[in-house]
Amino acid sequence: MSRYRWIVFDADGTLFDYKRSELNALRNTFRQYGLEFDETIHQAFARINSRLWSEFERGRISSAQLRVRRFEELAAKIKSNFSAPGFSADYLWNLGGECTLLPGALDVVRRLSSNFGLVLATNGIAEVQRRRFIASGINGNFASIIISDEIGVAKPDPRYFEKVFVTIGNPEKHAVLMVGDGLSSDIAGGGAYGIDTCWYNPAGCRNKTSVEPTYKIRNLIEILEIVRECGKPDTYG
């Protein structure tokens, strides 16, 4: 038998196509407000958003601050006078309607769910993520869904992983594998907590950090091979 009993998946960038979702939601919100939108604006938002999410993961800003501040900064950057709180609310509603999964994600999750307990672990905003998970059809494969917005702490904080473990009955740490695309959140957090980690890196980006994952994959289906090599019978075809 495999030493793993539980697999914890990150959501955005690992199972869900967040880049596409972000682009579509942003474009649609600009359209609602009668504002011009182009790739320059998208890239400006992506940079602002990435920086503020990093601040959030470090505990330096709250989820509520992140939601509004990114649009305050964007409005200033593009010299627009839209209301950041209102624009944020409309953007989040549009984002919640975007539920595109990455290629192979649903198949891999379904195949693993018959042999392992699965957890969906995200630092996302609760009202957005819950809608997306349900609409995608993927959430029924998970024994538990842990959203930072609902528990008041985010990856890589060890308290986040403590919540995951409590929720699934406190298994032995060697029996849990964390899979995610975020080196600073998923991989650093899981590793620091003492569990094996699998870095999903489809673009083959260079790891410029000191964080060392247990495994590295470029295609989600490679997870099936990892669990085979850890002793699971060849039941995945």
For the segment(s) 6-16+100-229, the CATH number from 3.40.50.300, 3.40.50.1000, 3.40.1160.10, 3.30.420.40 is 3.40.50.1000
The mean pLDDT value for 179-199 works out to 97
Where are the domains positioned within the chain? 6-16+100-229, 18-96
Same fold, 6-16+100-229 and 18-96: no
pLDDT reading at 67 higher than 60: yes
Give the model's pLDDT for residue 236. 38
Distance between CA atoms of residues 173 and 200, nearest Å: 20
User: Could you tell me if 120 and 146 are in contact, meaning their C-beta atoms sit under 8 angstroms apart?
Assistant: yes
- Beta-carbon contacts of 78 under 8 Å, excluding residues fewer than 6 positions away, are 41, 44
Categorize the per-residue pLDDT at 93 as very low, low, confident or very high, splitting at 50, 70 and 90.
very high
User: Could you tell me if 215 and 226 are in contact, meaning their C-beta atoms sit under 8 angstroms apart?
Assistant: yes
Q: State the DSSP string of 93-148.
A: HHHHT--PBPTTHHHHHHHHHTTSEEEEEE-S-HHHHHHHHHHHT-GGG-SEEEEH
pLDDT in tens, 220-236: 999 999 998 775 444 43
Give the model's pLDDT for residue 231. 54
Strands of 176-180's sheet in order across: 144-147, 117-122, 6-10, 176-180, 196-200, 215-217
Degrees, nearest 5: CA angle 25-42-67 = 60
The class of domain 18-96 in CATH terms is mainly alpha
Please return the burial class of 3, using the count of CB atoms within 10 Å of its CB with bins 0-12, 13-18 and 19+: middle
